[in-house]
Amino acid sequence: MKCENCGFENKDTAKFCTKCGAEFNAGPVAPPAELSSSNNSKYIIIALVIVILILVGCVGYFMGTMNTGDAQSSGAVDNASQEVSSSDDSGNDEGSAKTQTTSSSSSSSKSKSWESIGSYSGSGSGSQTITVPEGQIMVKLSAYPIKNYATNHLYVTGSNGQSGGVDWGSHSDVETRSDSFSYTSSSSETFTIDYYETVSWEVEFYRYQ
């Protein structure tokens, strides 16, 4: 049997060429140069596939990293927004609490009462002048005489015509007497305290505030 590859005559029963080793009925054997070229092409293709896979992996990794960074940034922004919102709410609460306290203080300040603004006392005989500020004023006075001479007294007289006082007649009991009066003025007033033959006396001024 003649080898189609190299032309060598082999036995009819031969399955391979004893010269070139080609298998009969299997087609021509590719020359070594062609086999080498084919192998090189395969290596190049494999290398290209590997490079492409590496590039795809790198791109995927960087994309994943960027997405993670964006998610973290977004989360940080959201957290910051929540903190600002929480701070604003706290600020509002605090503002509300201050307003309530102020309102409560205002309510308390509206509850007025009689407050002492001056107290004067002494004994014997004499007089003295004092100045009382404006407002709603109440005057309380009391005295105790030395003897009943019908001239013992304690008088409090204001420049606005308001006055009060105590005295004793010739047949009055020797005892403590008291009096009071009130007025309202938009300006300060001057008061004179006049006392005569007293063991003790006291005058106290109050303002409604």
Q: Is residue 199 part of a domain?
A: yes
Number of domains in the chain: 1
Is residue 7 assigned to a domain? no
The values of phi and psi at residue 183, to 5°, are -160, 170
Task: Give residue 103's pLDDT.
Answer: 46
For residue 208, the cross-strand partners are 114
Question: Is 151 among the domain residues?
Answer: yes
- Pick from 44-53, 78-87, 198-207 the range whose average pLDDT is largest: 198-207
For the entire predicted model, the pTM comes to 0.48
125 within a domain of the structure (yes/no)? yes
Which structural domain, as residue segments, surrounds residue 198? 114-208
Q: Are 148 and 174 in contact (CB under 8 A)?
A: yes
Residue 180 domain-assigned?
yes
Residue 95 placed within a domain = no
Q: Which two tokens stand for residue 111?
A: 């509850």
pLDDT digits (tens, 9 = 90+) for 70-88: 656 555 555 545 544 444 4
Is residue 91 in some structural domain?
no
Q: What region, left, alpha or beta, does residue 14 occupy, with left being phi > 0 and alpha being psi -120 to 50 degrees? A: beta
pLDDT at residue 85, as a whole number: 45
Indicate which CATH number applies to the domain containing 123: 2.60.120
- 154 pLDDT more than 80: yes
User: What distance in Å separates the CA atoms of residue 112 and residue 122, rounded to the nearest whole number?
Assistant: 30
**Helix/strand/coil for 166:** strand
Percent of the chain with pLDDT over 90: 48
| Mean pLDDT for the chain overall | 81
Q: Which residues are paired to 209 by β-bridges?
A: none
Q: Are 201 and 141 in contact (CB under 8 A)?
A: yes
Helix (H) or strand (E) holding 54: helix 32-110
Is residue 127 assigned to a domain? yes
Instruction: Find how far residue 90's CA is from the centre of its chain.
Output: 4
